[in-house]
A and B are shown apart, each in its own frame.
Chain A
């Protein structure tokens, strides 16, 4: 079972206003566009200094097995990163010697099912969304990564910064030769 477990959700959230929901939805779309275009400098400027970016690995278990696979941070994760760790991963691309990224992978991120909730912190918002990340590379390399996201975004002036993200992939065996992507 991969419940879309919440991030620090202590009670049923209050739905945000139309205006706020629109602003955060646009933020998610903008982020997706930056990732599609590999504009990582602009993307990382959307990440808060105290970011936690988490993508847990999911084993196949029987329903009666209540092992918490999603939220337990001591378990295996494909990403369990702070902002400095994300920057370290990205620095590999900047060396010009990451041969497996040249020719470049072609990405499309589709973001949907956006819900925005207020949190106990007046400047932070919980944002649910689903992602469809499509990759194509070389001649025939192709795969689709689909899953749920739960984010915390913080309002800073007129824009928003990503503070927490949990991206829950649906794979057990990864059906492609790497995860060279952020969702």
Chain B
């Protein structure tokens, strides 16, 4: 299989075989080598604040329950009874003192221990070793400033090392203000008939589609400039933003004006007031570059493989794969805890207007990504290639920022790094074979002066 994987993607020329969006064999290998190996987003700590609070999610296709423990720590388990495999928790979220299986009544405490077995003495004759039948724990669970991730691979790097220099950008949401961050509202879930990689590449680097695919939506809601991107793709300002990659497979698009995150709010005034009132605080905490240029600007952050968060537009999204041609897309609105309640309400409402199920922009993307997937299924199309070859070889270091950086939000630089990382994981037998790289990492001194 490795020989064929080597041939499926060429990140130097920006070529991908269309079979990577259609093949069942490749998908099974992705479940093992990507979703079974990488750190995957589970929950934001704001979603399970109290002991016994739980949240159900997926790691690949595995159904997982994430539970806040009595001591405040967070554990995660397969949502599957160790007796006959039944799903033990059926709710999206809630609070529980125990999880009792509907089938035979086995009961598990929030720490995963098997705490009750009906007819344990009468029918098992007291011979069942309960300690061998606790819920299966997710191998590693770790938090970075409110974001909780899980990982099945005991040999993975630490979460801190895995995130690498992407933390420089994550902090622009997670640590800009002293109150930290939160996700707002219920989970907005939607089935899309797309391969999971297509929505990731759509957001990780593809500023090119914005002015064209979303022309109608932009005309309806745009209130400010966003790096010169315009309805109908008639212009672009490549100096206005950055495409940042080369950070262990994580990617960032960032405008540099400190306000354009709110360009797709019909009435951005209350949020712009919040930004200006707190600008100095953020500069003090994160430095000039991030405080003045990045905080408040449109920022697309992709954490490999399937997490995307967009401070500014304020949506936070995970793609759960459901076979090579289908995903469940889960979206929340994101906010800073220091924001006034009225601003949080406006963010939730605007997120639903633009990137929710009825969102004007999501209407366009769902249609295109589904069709890209369907058009890769043919006997002939599966033998063909597709390309992300815009602005090849035009990247380098930028003062004040980590990463290998190309100019502008319109470039296919980030997509090439995404597929490079995909290939690195797919070809590696173990974590030890997966390269680690944080290109142009800032020295401590540089970071301080940034």
Query: How many A-B contacts are there with CB distance less than 8 Å?
Result: 127
Q: Does B363 lie within 8 Å of A178, measured CB to CB?
A: yes
- In chain B, what residue has the closest Cβ to A102? B216
Q: Does A62 lie within 8 Å of B94, measured CB to CB?
A: yes
Tell me if B171 is interfacial: C-beta within 8 Å of chain A. Answer: no
- In chain A, what residue has the closest Cβ to B348? A76
Stretch at the interface among B25-33, B128-136, B365-373, B402-410: B365-373
A89 CA to B360 CA, complexed, in Å: 7
Tell me if A57 is interfacial: C-beta within 8 Å of chain B. Answer: yes
Q: Does A100 lie within 8 Å of B352, measured CB to CB?
A: no
A62 CA to B370 CA, complexed, in Å: 33
**B363 smallest CB distance to A (angstroms):** 5
Stretch at the interface among B78-86, B182-190, B275-283, B427-435: B182-190
Tell me if B349 is interfacial: C-beta within 8 Å of chain A. Answer: yes
Residues of A within 8 A of B146 (CB): none
Tell me if B36 is interfacial: C-beta within 8 Å of chain A. Answer: no
Tell me if A95 is interfacial: C-beta within 8 Å of chain B. Answer: yes
Query: How many residues from B make CB contacts under 8 Å with A?
Result: 45
- In chain B, what residue has the closest Cβ to A182? B358
Binding site secondary structure of chain A = loop
Q: Bin the interface of chain A by size.
A: 35 or more
Q: Does B216 lie within 8 Å of A92, measured CB to CB?
A: yes
Q: Does A97 lie within 8 Å of B215, measured CB to CB?
A: yes
- Within the complex, which residue of B188, B232, B353 is in contact with A76, where a contact is CB–CB below 8 Å? B188
**B19 smallest CB distance to A (angstroms):** 23
Q: Does A177 lie within 8 Å of B193, measured CB to CB?
A: yes
Additional A-B contacts beyond A59-B187, A92-B219, A92-B360 (9; CB < 8 A): A60-B91, A62-B94, A74-B345, A76-B333, A78-B356, A92-B217, A95-B231, A174-B189, A174-B191
Query: What 5 pairs across the A-B complex have the smallest Cβ distances?
Result: A76-B185, A98-B216, A177-B366, A97-B215, A100-B367
Residues of B participating in the A interface, judged by any CB pair closer than 8 Å: 90-95, 184-193, 213, 215-217, 219-221, 231-232, 266, 328, 332-333, 345, 348-349, 352-353, 356-358, 360, 362-364, 366-368, 370
19 A-B contact pairs sorted by A residue (CB < 8 Å): A57-B187, A57-B357, A59-B187, A60-B92, A61-B94, A65-B95, A69-B186, A76-B184, A88-B353, A89-B358, A91-B219, A95-B220, A95-B231, A96-B216, A98-B215, A101-B216, A177-B367, A179-B358, A180-B358
Residues of A participating in the B interface, judged by any CB pair closer than 8 Å: 55, 57-62, 65, 69, 74-81, 85, 88-89, 91-93, 95-101, 172-180
